Amino acid sequence: MFGLLSMWISWDLFLFERPASVAPPWGRLRLVPAERQAVQAEGQADHEAASPAATCVVADSVFTVRMLILHGVKRTFSSLLHPLLANKELHFPGWFKFGAATSSYQIEGSWNVSDKAISIWDDYTHTQPHKIKDHSNGDVACDSYNQYEKDIEMAEQLGLDFYRFSISWSRLLPEGYRTRISSDGRQYYDNLINGLLDRGIEPMVTLYHSEMPKMFQDLGGWANPEMAEWFADYADVAFSLYGDRVKLWITINEPSIICDSSAYVLGVVEPFLAPYLCSKTVLMAHAKAYHNYKKNYKPMYQGKVGIAHAASYFSAKTQNDAELAELFRQYHFGLFMHPLHSKSGGWPATVVELMKNISSVEGFPRSRLPPLTKHEVEFIRGTNDFLGLNYYTSCTVRKAKAGEKRQESLGDLPELNAIFEPYPNSTAAYPEYYSSYPEGLRAFIAWFTKNYGVQDIFITENGYTSYTDDLNDFNRITYIEKHLEKILLCIYEDGARIHGYTYWSLMDNFEWRNGYTAKFGLYDVDFSDEGRKRTPRLSAQYYSYVIKSRSIDSNKWKSQMEDTNDN
């Protein structure tokens, strides 16, 4: 069972230790030594044992403890753990890292401060506010441009090993091209990066998180092949400015969503060709940035470059839907993963055949999926130091019945005529459209490994949304615990090389078309308050416990909170 663990090599990038120096705002701290468990691989030497860590025991109000008892934390959480975890009390290895994430447009605000250019989301929310659920925008958002020090303090209070954020292309390069770097934009990210490092927190930087200068969208956005060059230039500027301190880079966040969005979200209504032109351009842009870093920056800075994929597991509703489910997996994920992660490279053969047939039926003289030359296949293949996965939910898929309306999310491939449905035993997490299904994360990683082999993985996003301001967010705690349980099983039972976990999000923010109605944050943000007051939720306390103790056992967390209050 543990044979694959012998393949594990400690990833030097993440082997750093940080002191637990700042007490969280929700109570006093009592430090209890706890040995981090090293995993012994069969027939191989032990992993490098991490030094003993300090377990952070959170002391909170009597009210909180009573709420924990009232809501039955013991029954809801720990008693439902997988037997391997409950009986052996497995901990996360000492080298496993925990973080939280945000993105520039969603938190920074200051949309027209200094010389920042207008981004596509500035334009979209200002010209089409009716397409945002609460008619809001990111003009102020969390005001992180002015309050980044508070964000750093929250990351430190949680005990994060790393903080994932994105650079605003429009803020750093006001003219879009590399012709001029904004001094204010450069300084803002310098301050943020230095502030994190001063507190022992590793910066994980995303270069593109759904936000580009509007001028490029006017030129066709990602459907324009020239975008690959413009992005590579922007990436080079970022590498040159921050590469001495940033060792973890994500070039592009969720390319499959970006390319779907190029046709629907931001008004480029061209569903036939745009998504596929976008797919090729995004891959070329990523590869250009990767090769540049590998040649010109990696020898000096020894950083890692990857891409963050949106991940959901499409499971067949019935045995008759098995072929359809695999086709969906190849179309939605293989379209980007196969060119990057497979040994052969290029588009998945099943998708090539699918698009050829569909295009022919539609009367196109050639496939809507643009070909990749041999040079392009080799240029893209293997351009990743790690696999980033953004996982929130999974679903079953089946053929639509006669007269049944298919989901709009499949608008770029109506020929598949499919219906998405929640798993029968899943729990509501996204009241409007999706459900919580932690098992899907493990299933997706197994599917990826079967198709592309064992590779270094980083969970770059995972989070739970609610639509209330409730600070006692027990459902979010359950969501986090159950997904972390699956990650432990992936590591210890499946031999997956998962190096870290990123919760989305550090705090409530502008959640795209949901505006401020969707709450993902470990910290609540009062958007009616001019100062954007941040308040930790109960999930922040639990996540802090997980990080300090390396354990997901919320029953022990509850007990320690009770003991601390008794003292």
pLDDT at residue 70 in the model:
40
Phi, psi (degrees; rounded to nearest 5) at 53: -100, 165
Contact call for residues 219 and 176 (beta carbons, < 8 A): no
DSSP state of 39: P
pTM attached to this predicted model = 0.85
pLDDT at residue 271 in the model:
73
Active site residue 254: yes
Query: 186: domain range?
Result: 3-566
Average pLDDT of span 230-236: 99
**Alpha carbons 116 and 442: distance in angstroms, whole number:** 41
Q: CATH no. for residue 277?
A: 3.20.20.80
Record the tokens describing residue 510, joined without a space: 């502008």
Phi, psi (degrees; rounded to nearest 5) at 21: -105, -20
Q: How many CB atoms lie within 10 A of CB 566?
A: 9
Phi, psi (degrees; rounded to nearest 5) at 119: -95, 170
Contact call for residues 180 and 560 (beta carbons, < 8 A): no
Average pLDDT of span 144-155: 99
The CA distances from residue 54 to 19, 90, 159, 289, 563, in Å, are 9, 17, 11, 39, 17
- pLDDT tens digits, 2-38: 233 232 333 333 333 333 344 444 443 322 222 222 2
> Greater confidence, 309 or 269?
309
Phi, psi (degrees; rounded to nearest 5) at 291: -65, -40
Residues 108, 376, 461, 511: which is the catalytic one?
461
What share of the chain has pLDDT > 70, as a percent? 79
**Alpha carbons 266 and 338: distance in angstroms, whole number:** 27
Record the tokens describing residue 340, joined without a space: 């990057």
pLDDT at residue 2 in the model:
29
Sheet strand arrangement including 418-421: 314-316, 395-399, 418-421
Residues 108, 156, 202, 254: which is the catalytic one?
254
**Alpha carbons 552 and 535: distance in angstroms, whole number:** 23
Average pLDDT of span 241-246: 99
pLDDT at 400 over 70: yes
pLDDT at 237 over 80: yes
Say how many residues make up the chain. Answer: 567
Measuring CA to CA, which residue among 115, 234, 248, 253 is closest to residue 178?
234
- pLDDT tens digits, 512-526: 999 999 999 999 999
The CA distances from residue 432 to 42, 67, 262, 390, 422, in Å, are 46, 27, 23, 19, 12
pLDDT at 72 over 70: no
Average pLDDT of span 389-396: 95
**Alpha carbons 194 and 196: distance in angstroms, whole number:** 5
Q: Residue 454: beta bridge partners?
A: none
- pLDDT tens digits, 176-224: 999 999 999 999 999 999 999 999 999 999 999 999 999 999 999 999 9
Tally of domains within the chain: 1
What share of the chain has pLDDT > 90, as a percent? 71
H runs (alpha helix) in 302-453: 322-329, 335-341, 349-361, 374-380, 439-452
Q: How many CB atoms lie within 10 A of CB 349?
A: 12
pLDDT at residue 311 in the model:
96
pLDDT tier at 406 (50, 70, 90 boundaries)?
low
